[in-house]
Structure 1
Amino acid sequence: MISKGMERMHTNFTPQEMIVVAGSRVLENNKVIFAGTGLPMVAITLAQFTHAPGIIPVFEAGAVGPTLDRGLPLSVGCSRTTSKASYLQGLNTAFELTQRGFCDFGFIGGAEIDPYGNLNSTMMGQFPEEYQKPQLRLPGSGGASDMAASCERTIIIMAHERRRFVEKLQYLTSPGYLDGSEGARRRAGLVGQGPYRVITTKALLGFDEKTHRMKLIATMPGETVESVQQNTGFELLVDEKVYEFAPPTVEELRLIREEIDPRGYFIKRK
């Protein structure tokens, strides 16, 4: 549970630490979270250690409901994902949970995102002409496309740069609201509702209920509405109650640095 020490805010933190803390705070207790590799795993572990001990993580290799207190998993197939798990039955069973509506959130990342929450994690370059020899080959979908298609909602975590927030993706890897039109996901055969939050180094973003365009909900410490927009390659909607996100607490940073990722596998040190 949250300790008294968490009431004290800390001013000495990195953008990666801020993004993980924000990701953790967005997660609700007793929800089923399908975890992507990297920062989502750190955020889920932090949430389990603080305000959401009842979170049920699901990992692509098949572990469901582990307690992440044996050390940070280095991948979704790491043996640490099985510690105290409810069961372990393999990849097909994990994704079956999403298709049957049992995963509340999919927690994923991406290299590019458009106004409707569609993600690119495949390639940089002209598609299809440069697909075989792109300017940059990215890791690809892994299970992210399946998570974006089938989990009830998705939470996206990524760095906030103008080159990453673009009007049109170079390649669509994981579906968001597609073209933003009413019923677009259902017409495409997608069962999940779509993106819920985008957590970045500069902002917390959501999506307008009618237009499905990305909307600024909160700015990270030191940022403004203007600075966030300047680093976004399309026009953001701005919530009428936009606020400044609270910085990490002393306890949140201690957990990240000393207990969750002390070797800096995913959270780099200054």
Structure 2
Amino acid sequence: MTDLAPHIEATRADFCVVACADAWRGDGEVLASPMGLIPSIGARLARYTFSPDLLLTDGEAMLVALDGTVEGWLPYRRHLTMVTGGRRHVMMGASQIDRYGNQNISCIGTWNRPARQLLGVRGAPVNTLNNPVSYWIPRHSRRVFVEKVDMVSGVGYDNAAAAGDSATRFHRIPRVVSDLGVFDFETPDRSMRLVSVHPGVTVEQVRESTGFPLVTGDDVPFTREPSTAELRLIREVIDPAGARDREVRG
């Protein structure tokens, strides 16, 4: 049947939400742990549409449905069991990220005399070595996408490989999403690859905003456009106040 509904124009923020949602595509029944606004909207969109088996939490001890009702109990011990068994997919932020996916949220500058203190390592090493971790970067720049992070908080592919089988068993970085495009590490040396650019963004713009050489194909496509149904869910159900457009400006 032909869709006679009027076309809804997607914003840059909408493209970012859909790109984050796609990180959980095909994951099955795993615990989605989005950190930040756009990843949270993306995880809920994924649950509403193509990943109905995703588990969502209230951030404390409960598994919750999309309407907020409690679906189950997730005490800390059970949460850790899922983490260490690779049954969780986290989407974190990064103050710095390098070509192999090493992430820094701890400090800028040397460890002994940092120029700026950040969040600290937190749970990033455990996250990256025990379950899939993707990243959301709302401001793509050379200050964030760096040749080498000042301190390794989340473990990248090069450091995981150097540590051996115990570090690589569950280590996986499915994707990095920024306000400019989508990236993965599906290259022979596991260095970052540009998968798509958001509409209005050029490949050259992404290269100029990145502090290391990116792997790119001959023809980099645009990021997948949200469907009309997805846009209605984003705008009418998940984020009717439009908070996403305050984080990502097209």
> One fold, TM greater than 0.5?
yes
**1:193 corresponds to 2:171:** yes
Query: Does the CA contact (< 8 Å) of 1:5 and 1:251 recur in 2?
Result: no
* Alignment partners' CA distance in 1, 2:133 and 2:188: 18
The CA RMSD measured in Å over matched residues stands at 2.8
Distance 1:253 1:124, change over 3 A: farther
- TM-score normalized by structure 1? 0.77
Listed one character per residue, the Cα deviations across residues 189-237 of structure 1 (whole Å, up to 9, x for unaligned) are 4542321111111111111342010011111111222111111110001
Question: Aligned pair count?
Answer: 243
* Alignment partners' CA distance in 1, 2:59 and 2:151: 23
Aligned to 1:112: 96
- Equivalent position amino acid for 1:88 in 2: L
* Alignment partners' CA distance in 2, 1:209 and 1:28: 20
Please state how far the C-alpha of 1:250 moved relative to its aligned partner: 4.2
Aligned to 1:217: 195
Aligned to 2:52: 53
Listed one character per residue, the Cα deviations across residues 86-110 of structure 1 (whole Å, up to 9, x for unaligned) are 32212x321221212333x222221
Distance 1:88 1:33, change over 3 A: closer
Distance 1:264 1:124, change over 3 A: farther
Distance 1:17 1:122, change over 3 A: farther
Aligned to 1:77: none
4+ residue segments displaced more than 6 Å: none
Unaligned residue ranges in structure 2 (runs of 5+): none
Secondary structure in 2 matching 1:35: strand
* Alignment partners' CA distance in 1, 2:83 and 2:153: 18
For 1:88-99, list aligned pairs within 5 A.
88-90=74-76, 92-99=77-84
Query: Does the CA contact (< 8 Å) of 1:221 and 1:246 recur in 2?
Result: no
Aligned to 1:203: 181
Distance 1:112 1:47, change over 3 A: same
For 1:18-167, list aligned pairs within 5 A.
18-29=15-26, 30-38=28-36, 39-57=38-56, 61-64=60-63, 66-70=64-68, 83-90=69-76, 92-103=77-88, 105-130=89-114, 134-135=115-116, 137-151=117-131, 153-159=132-138, 160-167=140-147
* Alignment partners' CA distance in 1, 2:6 and 2:221: 19
Query: Does the CA contact (< 8 Å) of 1:60 and 1:143 recur in 2?
Result: no
- Equivalent position amino acid for 2:53 in 1: G
Which of 202, 217, 236 matches 1:239?
217
